[in-house]
């Protein structure tokens, strides 16, 4: 019933205690002859299979074995193993969430860099064309509109630079030096 305990812990999300492990259970649990020999050498006499859980979801299991000391796991040990399994499950889920967040941040920063670059190209054309229009235009109303275009283009350029600077700072590629 060794493997059955493992499967049951995964399926039901409940820890399984084997206060005393028989030779038949060792043989049923071992993946191969070498593992069976190792378990015999250790003197596995007692075992707990505890699920690694987070938010009611079983992420895996851990198996604790008691070796040649002769000590046997009991209900108190089972409760400790269940608590450890829950904490380990939460830690695993937190690590996965952190990894996903970091991946999302990298993706966002990559998109930001591409979009910023793509925005700068037409913005540069606007920024270069506006002064040329200003040189040729004599109508005061038109000149006022060209000035608005120039100020807006300059503001957009600053916003794009600020976005890129922030992305570089988050990525740790910019050293801030207070003055």
Q: What is the pLDDT of residues 92-119, one digit of tens each?
A: 999 999 999 999 988 888 888 888 888 8
0.85 surpassed by pTM: no
| Strand (E) or helix (H) holding 62 | strand 57-66
44 touches 66 (CB < 8 A): yes
For residue 172, the 8-state DSSP code is T
Residue 1 pLDDT > 60, yes or no?
Answer: no
pLDDT at residue number 2: 44
């Amino acid at each position: 019933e060794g493997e059955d305990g493992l499967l049951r812990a995964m399926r039901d999300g409940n820890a399984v205690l084997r206060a005393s492990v028989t030779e038949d259970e060792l043989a049923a649990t071992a993946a191969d002859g070498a593992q069976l020999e190792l378990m015999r050498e250790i003197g596995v006499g007692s075992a707990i299979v505890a699920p690694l859980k987070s938010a009611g979801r079983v992420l895996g299991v851990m198996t604790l074995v008691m070796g040649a000391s002769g000590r046997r796991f009991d209900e108190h040990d089972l409760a400790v193993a269940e608590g450890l399994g829950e904490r380990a499950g939460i830690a695993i889920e937190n690590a996965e969430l952190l990894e996903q967040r970091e991946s999302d941040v990298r993706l966002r920063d990559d998109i930001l860099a591409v979009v910023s670059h793509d925005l700068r190209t037409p913005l540069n054309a606007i920024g270069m064309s506006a002064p040329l229009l200003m040189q040729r235009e004599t109508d005061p109303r038109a000149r006022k509109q060209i000035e608005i275009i120039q100020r807006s283009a300059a503001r957009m350029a600053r916003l794009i630079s600020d976005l890129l600077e922030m992305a570089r700072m988050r990525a740790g590629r910019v050293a801030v030096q207070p003055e």
